[in-house]
Structure 1
Amino acid sequence: MSQEGITVGISYWEQLADRALAGEVLTLAEGLSVLEADDQELLPILQAAFRVRKHYYGKKVKLNMIINAKSGYCPEDCGYCSQSIVSEAPIEKYSFLQKDTLIKGAVEAKERKAGTYCIVASGRGPTPREVDEVVEAVKVIKEELNMKVCACLGILKEEQATRLKEAGVDRYNHNLNTSAEHYENITQSHTYDDRVSTVNMAKKAGMSPCSGCIVGMGESKEEVVKIAYALRDLDADSIPVNFLNAIEGTPLENMDELDPRYCLKVLALFRLICPTKEIRVSGGREVNLRHLQPLALYPANAIFVGDYLTTEGQTAMIDHQMIVDLGFEIEEVAV
């Protein structure tokens, strides 16, 4: 099999793995060859990606758990989101949770063997009171539970980033979501550059940058490769790869262009382009990967356990068993 003059076979995928391990960046043509490969090439692609994953992370799996600290009431127009101002999805709406509830969520995350607890809130950016709640909760969580804490509160101001870092927030998430070229097709109430600036603001404050994407929003395969390049250039330490869960009542409710095999190729692509980074299978895992979920952990080394923001995930027990069945190991204390 050949694509654009490239001979594709088992040895070819292994060559890509060798290059990734050597720190070389795949070309656009090579990245596209992963996404465009025949499905019969899927297992060799996953094996090549697993070589890279195993080199940096062994067989360990990082678990993350989300708490939706504020649901709905968001003025942004993100077409994929059930909490946005343009959404008609029948979701539960509530204002920012108080400190004690955030702490209880961390206890639950610990019980589910999650090493990272993610405090996520809808909105353009946090209010002073919302930052106060997070700061006070994080101080207790860090002192009593020995967990890594990630915050995802929208667009940050410099002083807010500094306060979060000083309170003990280890990581800040702000996804790029899609390529710069495709961004206006998804959101118009803020820009792609706004998101890049927020990630850089978090880095400047000393928090580990977490930024990822949502695949399946009408972007081209070339744009998927480009977002992988962008996240590599951004030097995001953790890259959540979401697969669109088209929620009824959102502008993208009728979008249905993913299948499990393509999703696995996307994860392999991200491992080969961002070899040293935490690649996390995130939102839409269950509905898009379906029975092929276990194979996702050959290129990826992290998942969310429990529910997402407004959609349900499978139980932690099932996730734990999936990891055990693979012969992998849960990394209960995140590093």
Structure 2
Amino acid sequence: MAIAKTEALNWDAIATKSLAGEKITREAAKAILQAPDTELLAQLAAAYKVRHHYWGNKVRLHFLLNAQSGLCPEDCHYCSQSKISTAEIEKYPLIAQEKIVKAADKAAELQAGTFCFVISGRSPSEKVFNKVIEAVETVKAKHDLKICACLGLLSETQTRQLAAAGVDRVNHNLNTSENHHPQICSTHTFQDRVNTLKNVQAADITTCSGGIIGMGESHDDIIDLAYSLRKLNVTSVPLNFLIPIAGTPLGHLNELNPRHCLRVLCLFRFILPSQEIRIAGGREVHLRSLQPLGLYPANSIFIGDYLTTKGQEAHADLQMIRDAGFTIENP
């Protein structure tokens, strides 16, 4: 039964439904995204009730390593590493193991609990995959870090090998709704991405999957993405906000403002109440001075740089967390 209009604007009522495990209706979800700016602080307060119930005042830190850059045969329109991108980025094959370990050292130094290991490409070759396995085992032997691997499309055999090597989590973002996906990529399908997540779950590895906001999607697309992630019961949800990169098909888009980004974070917290929600790429560009408010619905951030774009200085992130009254979750 559709939620009444007055109830849809009652953010505390939506928080209560979320905490009870109920799926909020599409009407309520649209109300969240379409609410006037005067409602934003009330939305954040309601989302914080849900966030605090599951995560308290803790903020998880993740450190990202772009271990193989560019050289990708896919045509993802947002990505500077795709085959159709003319963006000027550094391109290199899988970096040496000692560089991977050095990056893990940096992650530990910055109090990150998770070391996110990313390679470009559709799916790793056997040679690259074996080197990834070796690197994971080496890092695990040295550091008490969770490892999240982002390696493209994976088979169930590959995910079981990753589990045996000690990989704690695999990232594979849905990126957008199933309806909007053909506008973003043609070299693989939305279902291909879903299949990889199911292969990860079959190997008893936790799933990391989120999306990119600002790719010309509708409010319905944003809501569908959140519903899809709920249906898949993913563990960790990174939300990126498109950084329009010159030389990519979406390089002309600049549709976001900080208030919309915050409303999206609130929506995902209500639909995915217990999940780790991470403010990912584009945080500094689109939330700008309102970044601390993002910690009210979200409980996780990347510290350091992203794949091909720079992040905020680590000391500024740590100061932001302290200033907002949050504390870092012990690695």
Shorter-chain TM range is over 0.9
Task: Name the SS for the 1:156 alignment partner.
Answer: coil
CA shift at 1:98, angstroms?
2.2
Residue number among 186, 189, 214 corresponding to 1:188 in the alignment:
186
Aligned to 1:198: 196
Please say if residues 66 and 307 of structure 1, whose CA atoms lie closer than 8 Å, have aligned partners that are also in contact: yes
Superposed CA offset, 1:124-144 (max 9, x none): 011112112221121122222
Matches within 5 A, 1:175-324: 175-324=173-322
Q: Matches of 2:138 and 2:121 in 1, distance apart?
A: 25
State the AA in 1 paired with 2:312: Q
- What RMSD, in angstroms, separates the aligned Cα atoms of the two structures? 1.3
**Which 4+ stretches in 1 moved above 3 angstroms?**
none
TM-score (norm 1): 0.96
Aligned to 2:92: 94
TM-score (norm 2): 0.98
Unaligned runs of 5+ in 2: none
Superposed CA offset, 1:57-110 (max 9, x none): 000000001100100000000000000001000000000112221111111111
Q: Matches of 1:158 and 1:128 in 2, distance apart?
A: 14
Residue number among 111, 124, 127 corresponding to 2:122 in the alignment:
124
Q: Matches of 1:4 and 1:52 in 2, distance apart?
A: 19
Please say if residues 106 and 141 of structure 1, whose CA atoms lie closer than 8 Å, have aligned partners that are also in contact: yes
Aligned to 1:152: 150
Unaligned runs of 5+ in 1: none
State the AA in 1 paired with 2:181: Y
Matches within 5 A, 1:128-143: 128-143=126-141
Aligned to 2:5: 6
State the AA in 1 paired with 2:6: T
Q: Matches of 2:93 and 2:137 in 1, distance apart?
A: 21
Please say if residues 131 and 164 of structure 1, whose CA atoms lie closer than 8 Å, have aligned partners that are also in contact: no
Residue number among 44, 47, 51 corresponding to 1:46 in the alignment:
44
Q: Matches of 2:3 and 2:232 in 1, distance apart?
A: 29
Q: Matches of 2:117 and 2:80 in 1, distance apart?
A: 18
CA shift at 1:157, angstroms?
2.0
Please say if residues 212 and 239 of structure 1, whose CA atoms lie closer than 8 Å, have aligned partners that are also in contact: yes
Question: What's the % identity of the aligned pairs?
Answer: 52
Please say if residues 177 and 224 of structure 2, whose CA atoms lie closer than 8 Å, have aligned partners that are also in contact: yes
Q: Matches of 1:247 and 1:211 in 2, distance apart?
A: 22
Task: Name the SS for the 2:66 alignment partner.
Answer: strand
Superposed CA offset, 1:162-192 (max 9, x none): 1111000000000000000000000000000
Please say if residues 79 and 85 of structure 2, whose CA atoms lie closer than 8 Å, have aligned partners that are also in contact: yes
Residue number among 20, 25, 42 corresponding to 1:27 in the alignment:
25
Task: Name the SS for the 1:65 alignment partner.
Answer: strand
